[in-house]
Amino acid sequence: MLRNGFPRMSPSISPLIMSTSGYVAVGNEPFLQTYNGTFLSTTLPALQNIQSALIKAGLSSQVKVTVPMNADVYESANSLPSGGDFRQDIHEYMLPIVKLLSDTGSPFTVNIYPFISLYIDSNFPAEYAFFDGNASPVNDGGTYYYNMLDANLDTLVHTLQKNGFGNMPIIIGEIGWPTDGDRNANMEYARRFNQGFMSRIAGGKGTPLRPGPIDAYLFSLIDEDAKSIDPGNFERHWGIFTYDGQPKYLLNLGTTNSGRLLPARGIQYQENKWCVMRPNARLDDPSVAASVSYACSLADCTKLGYGTSCGTLDGKGNISYAFNSYFQINNQLDEACKFPNLSMIVKTNPSQGTCRFDVMIQPYYGGADGRLPKQLGLVAAFALFLLTFL
């Protein structure tokens, strides 16, 4: 099984799957409460169809089906792991899915994100998200939990036990920490969490109820600047590498002698030039709001805001960042820096402190000569032509 690098999957069922030598994952987090029940009736049939296909192909003993679930499919009546059970509103849907997994010898896959708890609950004890043992432990009938991962995973173990599937194997399909887009999404927290988690994995340490090694997949390899930000701006910043393959922080995965991540080599960047707000442009210009909104809707402005890497920029800095993001995504075309009377192209790097104004890598379009296909070029040119007249 792979996750982004390991790519993260779409929640939809029909486009189906990500396969590996060991597992086929059907959908991703289909029972999220934010989906309002969209996939409740289709997940089990999809799972059954894939299992039937594996049987017909003679692969069912080598390849197992699974459905990566979000950790909100179970909950605790007493806020302790021992009170775990499937959510009441989906209980009747979960049981046949788990039974099919059990009957086929397949694992229960769950995505666990302690960061999300910190993101949605300002009262969540931050230290409980990490693995340093600095948090006050939770006592569950004499079993002590010093971090959220152990407590969450054992809540699932209790849930499976309560419903007659106590021996089912569990896989953590996604776990990680973002580096931007929120005040708690930063390099230090991400390094601390991911290194703590990888050290546990290397040491073969499990949870109080499942003390053996954990089968888990770190999310994710690289940032995704076009990913949906409905859950939050942090969604585009889970990578341990930046968009251009550079390590964000020191992280020992146990794969190199140095204990460091290796950067991508031979990256070819575009020219060192940026699109910024003109020095004489006014913040109260009536076209500013529409221009920034347009740029951010088609580019990536998720590093702007309170507590982010670009959170200390002033008004003009924020506008410049938005313009440059749009400019770079459009491969530095001159037409992409023609916000009416507001923008200009400069060759002095406008980056400030922790806020990096990116220069995009050279585009590759997949043709034999690597050039932009004529039809696509016409579409891009037309879109930019329209922009100049907004």
pLDDT band at residue 133 using 50, 70 and 90 as cut-offs:
very high
What was the pLDDT predicted at 21?
53
pLDDT band at residue 330 using 50, 70 and 90 as cut-offs:
very high
What was the pLDDT predicted at 299?
97
Mean pLDDT of 29-43: 93
What was the pLDDT predicted at 377?
43
What was the pLDDT predicted at 1?
33
Report helix, strand or coil for 322: helix
Which tokens hold the place of 298? 């088609």
Average pLDDT in the chain: 89
Asked whether 186 and 179 are in contact (CB, 8 A), the reply is yes
69-83, 253-267, 335-349, 376-390: segment of lowest average pLDDT: 376-390
Mean pLDDT of 104-123: 96
Mean pLDDT of 106-124: 96
Say yes or no to pLDDT of 27 above 80.
yes
Mean pLDDT of 305-319: 97
Say yes or no to pLDDT of 317 above 60.
yes
| Beta-ladder partners of 74 | 86
Distance CA 163, CA 86 (A): 9
pLDDT band at residue 384 using 50, 70 and 90 as cut-offs:
very low
Q: Which residue has the higher pLDDT, 94 or 387?
A: 94
Half-sphere exposure of 47 (CA within 13 A, CB side): 30
Q: Which residue has the higher pLDDT, 335 or 381?
A: 335
Mean pLDDT of 351-379: 72
Mean pLDDT of 272-286: 97
Phi, psi (deg, nearest 5) at residue 131: -115, 20
Which has the closest alpha carbon to 189: 133, 118, 86, 255? 118
What was the pLDDT predicted at 352?
97
Which long-range CB contacts under 8 A does 75-81 form with residues at least 24 apart?
A: 75/155, 76/155, 80/138, 80/140, 80/141, 80/151, 81/140, 81/143, 81/145, 81/151, 81/152, 81/154, 81/155, 81/157, 81/158, 81/209
Phi, psi (deg, nearest 5) at residue 138: -95, 125
List residues with catalytic annotation. Answer: 29, 174
Say yes or no to pLDDT of 371 above 90.
no
- Those residues with Cβ within 8 angstroms of residue 10's Cβ, 6 or more apart along the chain or in another chain: 27, 28
